[in-house]
Amino acid sequence: MSETAYVDAIREALFDEMERDERVFVIGEDIGVYGGAFKVTDGLLARFGEHRVIDTPISETAIVGAAVGAAMMGMRPVAEMQFADFASCAFDMITNFAAKSRYRTGVGVPLVVRGPSGGGVHGGPFHSQNPEAYFAHTPGLKVVQPSTAYDAKGLLKSAIRDEDPVIFFEHKFLYRRVKETLPPGDWTVPIGKAAVRREGRDLSILTYGAMVWTALDAATTLESEGIDAEVVDLRTLFPLDEETIVASVAKTNKAMVLHEATRTGGIGAEIAAVLSERCFEYLDGPLLRITAPDTPVPFSPPLEEFFLPNAEKVCRAARALAGY
């Protein structure tokens, strides 16, 4: 059987859900005729027509706003941000209208805002951001980021079927670099559940998105050095799957968080808090954060390489931690 790339898995999820449920439609910039800047929506227009594949003006607030309204009318909109960075232009609509509607008025807003985040492709400061922590600090939203094609498809389906607004971050570095054979049929991956990607006894690397692969790389190196790392793919960033995190750390007694987003106030901070609260007795060493530094994402390749976490940095931290 042929392998499906991460980007194609996302398209399949959209396609399947649009076939399954006529309330589902997609809306965004250049998603119709062009099929999206990354071709995620390629072919949807031909199949579903321009009523359900809506090309919009350059108006992120209107895109998300229209999704909010349509969701209130009973539809299931999937709004694309051409780059996740541009969600900043719909920030109010996402964090105040979509996130708070159910709580304030009992009117749920089942919508998905999805788009490519992350660096590694020399996109510069505005096409490489990882803004997930902004949304993970916003009650009412759910925040998801798949690392595999399987999860990309299964989580997006869950996101579309969810009764609440889900912010779905795809990692653009993975679009065509990650592939696998997907099972046929209609399956989903639940929101709110992490996955242990590699079992290990010595320390837990808690991570998500493209960094899952970095962690697995590092784990291979570490193994050869006698350090047995467990790699936990968080998958859902809000609400966190605290049970899986706690179980892992209770077993390994040492933890590090790895993410591509900048350090201060990132998802790693929240995990530190969860571990402080729930795993104090289990921790035999400090929680280390391997993240991008607190700077914008630089453009030039040597700068971006320096900026991004990589397996070597993970190994270095893991060795220090193992020494505790």
Partner 1 sequence: MSELTREQKFEIYRLLRLNRTLEEKLVNLYRQGKVVGGLYRSLGQEATSVGTAYALSPGDVLGPLIRNLGSVLVMGFSPRDVLAQHMARASSPSGGKDCNLHFGAPERGVISSISMLGALVPVMAGIALGARLQKKNVVAMTYIGDGGTSTGAFHEGLNFAAVQKLPLVVVAENNGWAYSTPFKKQTAARCLADRAAAYGIPGETVDGNDVLAVYEAAKRAVARARAGDGPTLLEAKTYRMKGHAEHDGQAYVPSEELAEWAARDPLEAYSRVLAAEGLATADDLGAIDAVISERVEADASAVEQSPFPAPESALEGVYARKVADAEPAVARRRS
Ligand X SMILES: Cc1ncc(C[n+]2csc(CCOP(=O)(O)OP(=O)(O)O)c2C)c(N)n1
- What's the rounded Cα separation, in Å, for the pair 262 and 70? 34
Closest separation in Å from C-beta 89 to ligand X:
5
Helix, strand or coil, per DSSP, at residue 112: strand
d(CA 60, CA 70): 15
Query: Which is closer to its own copies, CB of 167 or CB of 182?
Result: 167
What is the secondary structure of 18-83 as a DSSP string?
A: HHH-TTEEEEETT-STT--TTSTTTTHHHHH-TTTEEE--S-HHHHHHHHHHHHHTT-EEEEEPSS
Of residues 89 and 196, the one with the C-beta less far from partner 1: 89
What does DSSP say about strands 179-180 and 288-292: parallel, antiparallel, or unpaired? unpaired
Name which of its own copies, partner 1, ligand X, none residue 65 binds, using a CB cut-off of 5 to 8 Å depending on partner kind: partner 1
Residues that bind its own copies in the complex, under the rule CB under 8 A: 85, 88-89, 91-92, 95-96, 99-100, 103-104, 125-126, 133-134, 136-137, 139-140, 238-240, 262, 264-270, 272-273, 275-278, 280, 283, 285-289, 293-296, 298
Selection from 308, 323, 296, 305 nearest residue 124 by Cα? 296
Give the nearer residue to ligand X in terms of CB position, either 46 or 58: 58
Distance CA 209, CA 190 (A): 16
Q: Which does 192 bind (CB under 5 to 8 A by kind): ligand X, partner 1, its own copies, none?
A: partner 1
Q: Which residue of 7, 8, 25, 29 would you call a contact of ligand X, by CB under 6 A?
A: 29
Under the binding rule (CB under 6 A), the answer on residue 86 touching ligand X is: yes
Could you say whether residue 117 binds ligand X (CB under 6 A)?
A: no
In the structure, how many helices (H) and strands (E) does the chain have? 12, 14
Say if residues 202 and 229 touch (Cβ distance below 8 Å): yes
Find the part of the chain contacting ligand X (CB under 6 A) among 81-89, 170-178, 188-196, 218-226.
81-89
Q: Which is nearer to partner 1, 3 or 312 (CB)?
A: 312
Q: Round the CA-based radius of gyration of the chain to a whole number and report it.
A: 19
* Tokens read off for 108: 């749920």
Residue 62 binds ligand X, judged by CB under 6 A:
no
- Smallest separation, CB 43 to its own copies (Å): 31
Per the annotation, the verdict on 127 as an active-site residue is yes
Residue range at the interface with ligand X (CB under 6 A); choices 82-90, 106-114, 189-197, 303-311: 82-90
For residue 144, give the nearest of 173, 165, 120, 127 by alpha carbon: 165
80 is a contact residue toward ligand X (CB under 6 A): no
Minimum CB separation of residue 29 from ligand X in Å reads 5
Residue 33 found at the interface with ligand X (CB under 6 A): no
Question: Which residue in the set 3, 22, 47, 58 belongs to the binding site for ligand X (CB under 6 A)?
Answer: 58
Do 107 and 101 meet the contact criterion of CB atoms below 8 Å apart?
yes
Q: Which long-range contacts (CB under 8 A, 24 or more apart) does 32-35 make?
A: none
Catalytic residues: 127
Contacting positions for ligand X (CB under 6 A)? 29, 58, 60, 82, 86, 89
